[in-house]
Amino acid sequence: MTVDVVVLTLREGRLEVVLIERGETPYLGAYALPGGFIRPDETLDEAAARELAEETGVDAAGHIEQFHAYGDPLRDPRMRVVTVAYLAIIPDLGAVKGGSDARTAQLVGVDGLLSRRPTVELAFDHDQVLRDGVEAARTKLETTSVATSFVGREFTLSQLRSVYEAAWGIPLDPGNFRRKVLASPRFVTPTGRVAAPGPEGGKPAELYRSGSRRLIALDPPLRRPRRRGA
Amino acid sequence: MTVDVVVLTLREGRLEVVLIERGETPYLGAYALPGGFIRPDETLDEAAARELAEETGVDAAGHIEQFHAYGDPLRDPRMRVVTVAYLAIIPDLGAVKGGSDARTAQLVGVDGLLSRRPTVELAFDHDQVLRDGVEAARTKLETTSVATSFVGREFTLSQLRSVYEAAWGIPLDPGNFRRKVLASPRFVTPTGRVAAPGPEGGKPAELYRSGSRRLIALDPPLRRPRRRGA
DNA sequence: GGAATAGTGTCTCTGAGACAGTATAGT
DNA sequence: ACTATACTGTCTCAGAGACACTATTCC
């Protein structure tokens, strides 16, 4: 019985995931999601948060949630291992340090990992776990205020929009996005202050904070545009 | 490592769940969800389908899907047991037979089980599992064609509507419901035939079949009416 | 005919999306 | 001035819901 954690963040407009380099067989030296065995006296949630902190130094601060269990008898060549997979979403923290047991932890672009010719091969069935985790995050962006977990404490609506654009892989209309976000009660609250424009100029953007400490349901949901046909 | 299955069906317009009477300690004689230990050589999905068939005689026919894992260290007084919970949805089959190991299996109304003063106490944390499973089913009704799994091979739109009304606990407008269902591509297909009216008379209703063998996503979703405020 | 259920038509409101236009910064 | 970004306004269309109306059955 193990837990594995898909930790997503946004860096330079790209969706990235925290990977560790395995220090043990099997898959020694390969990249994998952080995770490990559940201790007898802890809940699944506690195990996920603990393993994440131990192996990567990341504090998920309660923003961690289970999304699927994987139990194929052959998924681990050593023995039967059932894993409960978790999703955590954090702002860009700069560097991610290696964990207590000296494994390296680093951020890797999700697009490359999930493309037809992956940049890196992942251990076990972690490519499937990552795929499902990213899909869970995309859906969560539609129905909850989780997007604010990707950005810092104060942010502009452009930054919030870039979260959706990176996760969904499509551009969104700035005006329509603004209207929808401001129409959702308690999604964001204005601070009254403005941010300095970027190096390319432009009007200074208003700064907002998350409208609630906890995750809230968006009503109406901010629906992802559906593909035509099918 | 166990699996537990929430099997929902509709009988006389009420949502019911399959429960077994436990034949072993702990909770001997109490009611519980069907389920049991995972064998070393089977997937989680296989384990769920097997336990369901063994204990209740129900064949979920592939319509069975995991929705959450439960791993509180104290949820089973004997030992640490992590369970992966599954949701299955079946038409009213009449009686549910007891399983191979002679335990009784029966249908119990969900409303009574989840009310403040439950009609029956459930073993372990199965009241929470049931609660989550019912909520998963309610959401699945919004976004997928799963409602057709509650009814027989051919059905009227009134019968399909009563699935939603029972699961959501609210009445729906027949005209609007009809329009939305028929507007969803591949949700249902007409047979051209009509059903005999009920004992209270009324116009004969057209018969439909499920529009697809597999579960499909509804686009647009058939959204559950949201509560006002908050 | 009356009651009950099935099905159709219509009106209104909300939200999504496209897109034009205005405001304020850097160069 | 020009450009880039932030923000606002407007038009159109799709879907949801309320509800009136017609159709067909049983009593």
Tell me the residue type at B119: T
Residues B87-112, mean pLDDT to the nearest whole number: 81
Look-up of token digits 């894992």 = B69
- Say if residue B81's pLDDT is above 70: yes
Closest nt to residue B202, judged CA to C1': C5
- Say if residue B96's pLDDT is above 90: no
Tell me the residue type at B167: A
Q: Which residue is nearest to nucleotide C20 (CA to C1')?
A: A175
Residue A41: CB atoms within 10 Å? 9
Beta-carbon separation of A82 and B82 below 8 A: yes
Residues B211-226, mean pLDDT to the nearest whole number: 94
- Say if residue B201's pLDDT is above 90: no
Protein CA A145 to sugar C1' C26 (Å): 33
A227 touches strand C (CB under 7 A): no
**pLDDT tens across A198-220, in order?**
888 889 999 999 999 999 999 99
Q: Which residue is nearest to nucleotide C8 (CA to C1')?
A: B175
Beta-carbon separation of A43 and B80 below 8 A: no
- Say if residue B103's pLDDT is above 80: no
Among A17, A93, A109, smallest CA distance to A57 is for A93
**pLDDT tens across A131-148, in order?**
999 999 999 999 999 999
Among A88, A81, A5, A53, smallest CA distance to B82 is for A81
Which residues 46-105 of chain B have a CB within 8 Å of chain A?
A: 47, 66, 68-73, 80, 82, 84
Q: What is the pLDDT of chain B when averaged over all its residues?
A: 93
Q: Is this prediction's pTM over 0.85? A: yes
Is B181 an 8 Å CB contact of chain A? Answer: no
